[in-house]
Chains A and B, each alone.
Chain A
Amino acid sequence: SQQGEEDPQALSIQEGENATMNCSYKTSINNLQWYRQNSGRGLVHLILIRSNEREKHSGRLRVTLDTSKKSSSLLITASRAADTASYFCATDSAGNQFYFGTGTSLTVIP
């Protein structure tokens, strides 16, 4: 089974609102990354957070990591229609194990 589970599976918001999606994983990790995928296309790397970091920002993105709860969240502020995509978390852990989560489908309504 996959390492990561994402919640919600689908999210629909108005342009300008904030979008929050969550990722939970099962085993200890070295790092957690977030990727975006536009429909049927390749993934685009958004941000990486290391296991010893708790929060990271990049532009309108804010990622948090709680290793005690084995969870991470991705916040997109002031969403735009162009943010419509699927978002995946990916974890890497000891033994070169690399897993993607199930993904959250975000729709931003103009």
Chain B
Amino acid sequence: DSGVTQTPKHLITATGQRVTLRCSPRSGDLSVYWYQQSLDQGLQFLIQYYNGEERAKGNILERFSAQQFPDLHSELNLSSLELGDSALYFCASSDSGGLTDTQYFGPGTRLTVL
């Protein structure tokens, strides 16, 4: 158990809908990272927040957005969902702000778009 929690575990929704994925980092960690893992695209880094501020941006679509709240939990919002958005979404956390820091991954949220 990494100490990172993600909810929900599974999410099934329809095309065009909007969903919110939630992540709670390990106690004391200031950085939260979001990743997408799909058969087509593999593992992709989406975005990183550090202490509430966006720190690094990867291949995140404009339909996706994220934020980190004062209590350091983070949410990833996915809108206008398409079939291709079906994937495992992972959150990770680390205690500082660099991409090289050891990241601790949550169990993931499996999103299925029908």
Which A positions have Cβ atoms within 8 angstroms of B? 2, 30-31, 33, 40-45, 48, 88, 92, 96-103
Which one of A2, A96, A103 contacts B56 once the chains associate, using CB atoms below 8 Å? A96
**Measured CA separation A31–B104 after assembly (Å):** 18
Does the CB pair B56–A44 fall under 8 Å? no
Q: Known: A42-B90, A43-B90, A102-B42. Is A96-B102 also a contact (CB below 8 A)?
A: no
Does the CB pair A42–B106 fall under 8 Å? yes
Which B positions have Cβ atoms within 8 angstroms of A? 2, 4, 35, 42-45, 48, 55-58, 88, 90, 92, 99-100, 102-108, 110
Which one of B45, B105, B108 contacts A98 once the chains associate, using CB atoms below 8 Å? B45
B108 contacts across to A, CB distance below 8 A:
40-42
A41 contacts across to B, CB distance below 8 A:
107-108
Does the CB pair B45–A43 fall under 8 Å? no
Output the nearest chain A residue to B59 by Cβ-Cβ distance. A99
Besides A43-B92, A45-B103, A99-B45, 11 other A-B contacts (C-beta < 8 A): A2-B42, A30-B100, A31-B100, A33-B100, A40-B110, A42-B92, A44-B2, A44-B105, A96-B48, A98-B99, A102-B42
A-B contact pairs, 27 of them (CB 8 A): A2-B42, A30-B100, A33-B100, A40-B110, A42-B106, A43-B43, A43-B90, A43-B103, A44-B105, A45-B102, A45-B104, A48-B100, A88-B43, A92-B99, A92-B100, A96-B48, A96-B55, A96-B56, A96-B99, A98-B45, A98-B56, A98-B99, A100-B35, A100-B45, A101-B42, A102-B42, A103-B43
